[in-house]
Structure 1
Amino acid sequence: MSDLPFTLDQLRILKAIAAEGSFKRAADSLYVSQPAVSLQVQNLERQLDVPLFDRGGRRAQLTEAGHLLLSYGEKILTLCQETCRAIEDLQNLQGGTLIVGASQTTGTYLLPRMIGLFRQSYPDVAVQLHVHSTRRTAWSVANGQVDLAIIGGEVPSDLQDALEIIPYAEDELALILPVFHPLAKIPTIQREDLYKLQFIALDSQSTIRKVIDNVLIRADIDPRRLKIEMELNSIEAIKNAVQAGLGAAFVSLAAIEKELQMGVLHNAHIEEVTIKRMLSVIVNPNRYRSKAAEAFSREILPQFATPGWEKHLVQPPSLETDVLKAAAAHPHRGTPANGS
């Protein structure tokens, strides 16, 4: 591999500079000196015979060649990490790493419970939870940075062919009111009552707000007629505002279990209306799935799922299968040792 014009360390440095916006901050994040980072970049540019950064501005800006190298470099580094995890699986089936992704609501209220159950059975597995927007989460799964994810939004159309999207579980949206609101004292309210309430909602440009609006439309509720008096940037802030009597809101039922048990919020029932959305599990069927990810899919996901979801799950490529195939094709090399 000595004929390659770059090293993995140089790719890591390039990625850090692009992420941090400066050579100094990149050096700090990698725990090396700034002169060492600068020297590596100079060597890389000399080996490739192209400039990778425009050095005129205050922020380190990639050139076109720099962007191209970064794009491929991130794929190379991700594949290296995936390789290490696969080898670690073969060497240590009791350990390993599980990386789970989630959109905001599922990542805040559902995944921590699932990971807690998983850790009870597999305390030696290192678990990472990455909570981002549905789009960013889908990109992470497609790029192999995340083993699997649970999302509530729609996967971007340009990623749908690259991912396996599995209907997983229904998530009910609840209409929450202050416990002292007049409508909290009656068993059910009418659909038309919604248009008389003052609502607290997420920012109109947020992904979750758009998902909720689409779900309301499917339930024959016109979100444009709702009186939005206040927009906040988190579900927790919305729950606190409703509890303080500032308005009503639609939130995931999973997000208010604790508040309902404590009796500090009221879940209002709308006559003949149940508002639900489908959560999805997304995986990349062409990526190696770690033993930890397989155990999570087999033992934890079914506990929260709609029955029958597993039949949609395609088995991913297996490193052990690939090794055995290679051994069969070249018997003189011997067979791999048993994992026990």
Structure 2
Amino acid sequence: MKWTLEQLATFVAAAEAPSFSAAARQLGRAQSAVSTAIALLEASLDTELFDRGGRLPSLTPAGTLLLAEARELLRQCQHFDNRALSLGARRPEQLSLALDEGLPYPAELELVQALDQAFPQLELELSHGSAANIAAWLREGQADVGLAYRRIPADAMLASEPVGAVPRVLVVGSSHPLLQEAQINRQTLARYRQLLVTPRFVRNDADEHISPQLWRTDSLYVIAEQAAMGQGWAVLPLNIARYPTLNGKLVEIHAQDLAFPALEVHLYWRAGQENAPLLQWLRRYLANAVFARSVG
């Protein structure tokens, strides 16, 4: 067997993406490189992983079985690598923290202030992005820890735990025709365009999907701006719905037969790093900090 871990990772990405070209974009590689890596892997294994007879490649029965094995091998390799990092020479005074762009700023500032007090010599790098960004940064080692709304799907390479929740509200722009409706319920909302926050790696959002007229994006702030412009209605975290620059542009409304649960905030890290001192401190702090309460 002469297959490589890079080929396995390409196989997993291609199996999870709708096409080889989509996998190539996700990996930042040319489509030909993805196709070649999979062909070499198939040759090494003497097994056809994809059926290429249709419009798009699809997993063969053997490919489906080996996909689970490939994911587990990659998970074990990541665990090994992360454990070595936590035991290695990297100074504990360094931390790369990735934050969901939609988290409440006061809670973030409290966390940074607490880090400063606990680790005065800390070399801190903060990054803000979408759930998709944070998942990628963690997997690729570009971030040590992530704080994000629970929009990252289960991943054997990542571990997580809930640290709080943020209430959500239903909003429309101040001139939206929904405000003229005598009553607002699920049936009423279905007559107007819905603006839905959906990370690009999430396929099933049926629980949130109400209107047949739908626009999607992975940015909470883009959704808020679109709602303020009257392009549709949306369900947003309270802190974004009441963000200062949107003051007066969004109106919070109530649907009689719908309730929108608070959006959970999770702490994410790469599996195998549980013993890292800074991660242990973060887990203790967040268990009692502002994210442990519903915040707005």
Aligned position for 1:73? 70
Q: Report the count of equivalent residues.
A: 253
Q: Of the candidates 167, 171, 174, which is equivalent to residue 172 of structure 1?
A: 167
Residue of structure 1 aligned with 2:47, choices 47, 50, 57? 50
Give 2:102's aligned residue.
109
Say if 1:126 and 1:37 are closer, same or farther in 2 by CA, change over 3 A: farther
Partner of 1:304: 290
Deviates more, 1:108-117 or 1:293-302: 108-117
Cα distance between partner residues in 2 of 1:250 and 1:94: 39
Query: Is the CA contact 2:228–2:246 (under 8 Å) kept in the aligned structure 1?
Result: no
**In the TM superposition, what is the alpha-carbon distance from 1:41 to its structure 2 partner?**
5.0
In proportion to residue count, which structure has more helix?
A: 1
Note the alpha carbon deviations across 1:215-234, whole angstroms, 9 max, x for none. Answer: xxxxxxxxxxxxx7975435
Indicate how the Cα distance of structure 1 residues 99 and 195 shifts in structure 2: closer, same or farther if over 3 A, else same: closer
- 1:233 — aligned with what? 216
Q: Is 2:85 the partner of 1:88?
A: yes
CA distance in 2, matches of 1:208, 1:136: 11
Q: TM (normalized to structure 1)?
A: 0.50
**Inter-partner Cα distance in structure 2 for 1:229 and 1:26:** 31
The amino acid across from 1:148 in the alignment is S
Aligned partner letter, 2:76: L
The gaps in structure 2 that reach 5 residues or longer are: 117-121, 133-147, 199-203
Q: Does 1:294 align with 2:285?
A: no
Q: Which one of 252, 265, 284 corresponds to residue 250 of structure 2?
A: 265
TM-score, normalised relative to structure 2: 0.55
**Counterpart AA for 2:93:** Q
- 1:148 corresponds in structure 2 to 160
Query: Which ranges of structure 1 fall in alignment gaps of 5 or more residues?
Result: 101-106, 151-165, 185-191, 214-227, 309-340
Partner of residue 255 from structure 1, selected from 240, 247, 250:
240
Distance 1:257 1:11, change over 3 A: same
- Listed one character per residue, the Cα deviations across residues 144-195 of structure 1 (whole Å, up to 9, x for unaligned) are 33x3265xxxxxxxxxxxxxxx7x33x33445465579xx9xxxxxxx9644
Alpha-carbon displacement from aligned partner over 1:58-94 (angstroms, at most 9, x marks no partner): 6444322222222211221122123212221222223
> Which residue does the alignment assign to 2:5?
8
- SS of structure 2 residue aligned to 1:294: helix
SS in 2 for 1:233: strand
Q: 1:202 — aligned with what?
A: 194
Question: Equivalents in 2 of 1:74, 1:65: separation in Å?
Answer: 14
Change in CA separation of 1:5 and 1:114 when aligned onto 2, cut-off 3 Å: farther
